[in-house]
A = this chain, B = another copy of it.
């Protein structure tokens, strides 16, 4: 039907897209970038999904003048300052900054995307001077991927080439940042996806939503939702190729892989865990339980300590206010049955096996409520000393 090839150098592969990243002085360490752009030489259809936080940051308010589905060709991205809770002035700052883009690139409906600390105006001068240093004809995907990071420890950059059975192909690529997933003070989840596939305008939003619902919307590092979370999908159609099924598959592969990279790089995270709840009364109840498991402090600290203490799993499910019954519940770590009513007590042998599973970099906790057919999988990470260290440290 179609073939998926993984390519290096992320955005650089995609026809018609240009990008770069530099340090413009927002970060004291000149080695770290803090300003990046992504542009297309052909007008794109852009679909955007934004945070549900009621206090949306200025860049989101500014971009929303074009709606969540619009035509455009340019995004400017800065790290270190979220431009959130800055009122009307925050929006005026964006307009002024964007007015300094060079005429030659013919930016249409240009927008900004920001990440960093809340409550400070942008350093307009630094960013405007930085614009002069950006190479608008470069394809420096690595530099762009690095410049959008905050407390992330590695860059998140992916590209797939999708080859259809008629031999024609299109490409899709993305860069993302996470760290505190949704940490309003030092990090924010941002993702920029570009493609040269000829995605129809009437489908693009729904495709993005489906992929994000199954990936970014199922992960949690700390359960907080920031003022700046955004996912953009820019499609310039330059390949002239499109096949819905293949495109959606590639888009989902891309977002799911990025989501797992974000979790792996969650602040202080040492392991990634899938919380699969099955046999719930319905999907909604399974979702509530799975999300509560991924956010429970007691579960997260037990994961860090590799403590096969299934009592915390059971207690979190019981506290979720969903239909459940201790006589029916079964808890598995990967394929190891760790609790059922017939075997409530952990034997030393089982405890050792469970301990080994929990020491892996990633594993699955599966809870079968044996009540109905509802299921949901959420993804989380452990809570370590480093999470506290990263987040308790003074900003300056």
Residues on A lying within 8 angstroms of B by beta carbon are 52-56, 82, 84-87, 117-121, 180, 183-185, 222-227, 296-298, 301-302, 304-307, 309-312, 314-324, 326-327, 339, 341, 344-346, 383-385, 387-389, 391-395
Using CB atoms, name the residue of chain B closest to A299. Answer: B224
Closest to A229 in B: B319
CA A166 – CA B387 in complex, angstroms? 58
- Given A304-B392, A305-B394, A395-B307, decide whether A225 and B385 contact each other with a Cβ distance below 8 A: no
Contact residues in B for A311 (Cβ distance below 8 Å)? 82, 84-85, 117-119, 184-185, 227
Question: Are the C-beta atoms of B305 and A392 separated by less than 8 Å?
Answer: yes
How far is it, in angstroms, between the C-alpha of A52 and the C-alpha of B119 when the chains are bound?
A: 39
Interface contact A184-B312, CB-CB below 8 Å: yes
Name the contact of A319 in the complex, choosing from B53, B319, B326, B346 (C-beta under 8 A).
B53
Please measure, in the bound complex, the distance between the C-alpha atom of A278 and the C-alpha atom of B53, giving whole angstroms: 20
A326 adjacent to B55 (CB under 8 Å): yes
Would you give the shortest CB distance from A344 to chain B, in whole angstroms? Answer: 5
How far, in whole Å, are A311 and B339 apart by their CA atoms in the complex?
42
> Which residue of B56, B224, B301, B315 contacts A392 across the interface (Cβ within 8 Å)?
B301
Q: How far is the CA of A324 from the CA of B312 in the complex (A)?
A: 35
Determine whether the beta carbon of A301 is less than 8 Å from that of B53: no
Hey, which chain B residues are within 8 Å of A117, CB to CB?
309, 311
Contacts of A184 in B (CB 8 A): 298, 311-312, 314-316
State the CA gap A322–B339 with chains docked (Å).
39
A224 touches B395 (CB 8 A): no
**A319 to chain B: which residues have CB within 8 Å?**
52-54, 224-226
Contact between A302 and B339, CB atoms less than 8 A apart? no
Contact A227 B315 (CB under 8 A): yes
Question: For the complex, what is the distance from the CA of A394 to the CA of B306, rounded to whole Å?
Answer: 8
Given known contacts A224-B297, A309-B185, A315-B224, A119 and B346 CB-to-CB distance under 8 angstroms: yes
The answer to whether A302 and B391 touch across the interface, beta carbons within 8 angstroms, is: yes
Tell me the number of copies of this protein.
2
Interface centre among A53, A223, A392 (most CB of B within 10 A): A392
Q: A87-B344, A307-B395 are contacts. A52–B321 as well, Cβ < 8 Å?
A: yes
Instruction: Give every chain B residue within 8 A of A226 (Cβ-Cβ).
Output: 315, 319
- Contact yes or no, B393 A305, CB < 8 A: yes
Measured between alpha carbons, how far is A314 from B228 in the docked complex, in Å?
Answer: 13
- Given contacts A85-B326, A225-B319, 4 further A-B pairs with CB under 8 A are A52-B319, A54-B324, A180-B298, A222-B297
- Asked if A314 meets B55 with Cβ closer than 8 Å, knowing A296-B224, A341-B87, the reply is yes
A136 to chain B, nearest CB (A): 32
| CB-defined contacts of A310 to chain B, threshold 8 Å | 118-119
Q: Known contacts being A55-B314, A85-B314, A344-B86, is A384 close to B395, with CB within 8 Å?
A: no
A372 to chain B, nearest CB (A): 15
Contact residues in B for A304 (Cβ distance below 8 Å): 388, 392
CA distance A384 to B385 in the complex (A): 8
For residue A179, give the distance in angstroms from its CB to the closest CB of chain B.
12
How many whole Å from A242's CB to the nearest CB in chain B? 36
CA distance A179 to B389 in the complex (A): 22
Contact in complex: A305, B119 (CB < 8 Å): no
Q: Please state if B314 and A224 are interface contacts (CB–CB under 8 Å).
A: no
Separation of A53 and B319 alpha carbons in the complex (Å): 4
| Chain B residues within 8 Å of A344, by CB | 85-87, 119-120
Q: A55 touching B297 by the CB < 8 A rule?
A: no
Contacting residue for A118 out of B225, B314, B387, B391, CB 8 A: B314
Q: Which residues of B contact A53 (CB under 8 A)?
A: 315, 318-319
